[in-house]
Amino acid sequence: GKSSGPAGKNLKLGCLAISERMVQWIKEGLTPLGYNVEIVMFDANQLPAVALKDGNVDGIIANHRQWMQTFNKENNCNLEMVQPYLFRSFYAIYSLKYKKVADIPQNAQIVIPGDPTNLSRSLIILREAGLITLKDKTGHFYTVLDIKDNPKKIKLIEAEITHTARSIQDADAVIATAYHISAKTKIDPRDVVFEDPQNKDYPLGLIVRSEDVNSAWVKEAVKIYRSEQYRAKFNEVYKGQYFLFD
């Protein structure tokens, strides 16, 4: 950091609505160690990463690693996700009407997240589920332009990520995270139509600038989120929604 560098033990940590608690617990752990931590909450988009890159915050828990790598490429920067990673989300196809992928009818409406990484990920889920096939990726992400075959003529509706779960009543199926599904609906998040096989490939965790990876506070932070206490709290709050890495 430039002005509010970790040397001064003043830290700014960025988060999203979903990760606010996780950062909060880290803050609670760092404070007794003499760190002065401020939490900045962002809407879900690339601004937390931009802020991190610019030195306006010192660490974020917001985006998954895949996205971070793209961001690095696009912005010629070196953000790094601290290992061990913290958690992963659980994506799946959910539906109120159908139990199996095979049941999904012709011309079905499937609501998928519209932001690029999740859209890309959703397209892969659909491909893995055998509903569509994809061409070669042209950009960083798959887009609907990359769909090659769509035998069931499935209609994809790109919505805001939380809205996918909200609209489950109105669609034939949605692609959503366990977190959103369990928060908004009474569905058991494990009651999936099709689980995303890539779930493990999208780790989330504390992202910092690469030069800070070995700094003292990061080490402390890792210690904190690897602690049993932290894990217990996490599992209590996000049980069945997000999954810690072992």
Partner 1 sequence: MIPDGYWAYWWRYFDGIIAPSIGATLRMLSVSMLFSFIGGFILAYFLILYGPQGLRPDRSKYRVLDFMVSSIRSFPIIILIVAISPITRMVVGTTIGERAAILPLTVAATPFMARIIENSLRGVDRQLIEAARSFGASDFQIIMKVMVKESVPMIVAGTTLATITYLAATTVAGAVGAGGLGAVALNYGYQSFNNTVLYTSVMILFIMVLIIQRVGDWLYKKIL
The residues binding partner 1 (CB under 8 A) are 14, 16-18, 20, 40-48, 50-51, 54, 56-57, 70-71, 74, 109, 111, 114-116, 119, 139-141, 143-145, 157-160, 162-163, 166-167, 169-171, 180, 183-184
Listed in sequence order, the residues at least 6 apart from 197 whose beta carbon sits closer than 8 Å to its beta carbon are: 125, 128
- Nearest CA-CA partner of 30 in 50, 66, 58, 64: 58
E strand residue ranges, the chain: 10-15, 36-41, 59-61, 79-81, 87-89, 91-94, 109-113, 133-134, 147-149, 155-159, 173-177, 194-195, 203-204, 207-209, 242-244
- Nearest CA-CA partner of 142 in 117, 110, 174: 117
Q: How far is the CB of 57 from partner 1 (least distance, A)?
A: 7
Q: How far is the CB of 25 from partner 1 (least distance, A)?
A: 15
Q: How far is the CB of 199 from partner 1 (least distance, A)?
A: 21
Contact of 87 with 186, CB cutoff 8 Å: no
> In the complex with partner 1, which residue's Cβ is closer, 177 or 199?
177
> In the complex with partner 1, which residue's Cβ is closer, 5 or 116?
116
Q: How far is the CB of 43 from partner 1 (least distance, A)?
A: 4
> In the complex with partner 1, which residue's Cβ is closer, 167 or 222?
167
> In the complex with partner 1, which residue's Cβ is closer, 214 or 239?
239
Inter-CA distances, 59 with 12, 117, 191, 196, 234, Å: 7, 21, 34, 28, 19
Inter-CA distances, 241 with 13, 30, 48, 238, Å: 23, 26, 23, 5
> In the complex with partner 1, which residue's Cβ is closer, 70 or 89?
70
Q: How is residue 18 annotated by DSSP?
A: T
Q: How far is the CB of 162 from partner 1 (least distance, A)?
A: 5
Q: How far is the CB of 180 from partner 1 (least distance, A)?
A: 8
> In the complex with partner 1, which residue's Cβ is closer, 51 or 86?
51
Q: Token digits for 238? A: 């996000």
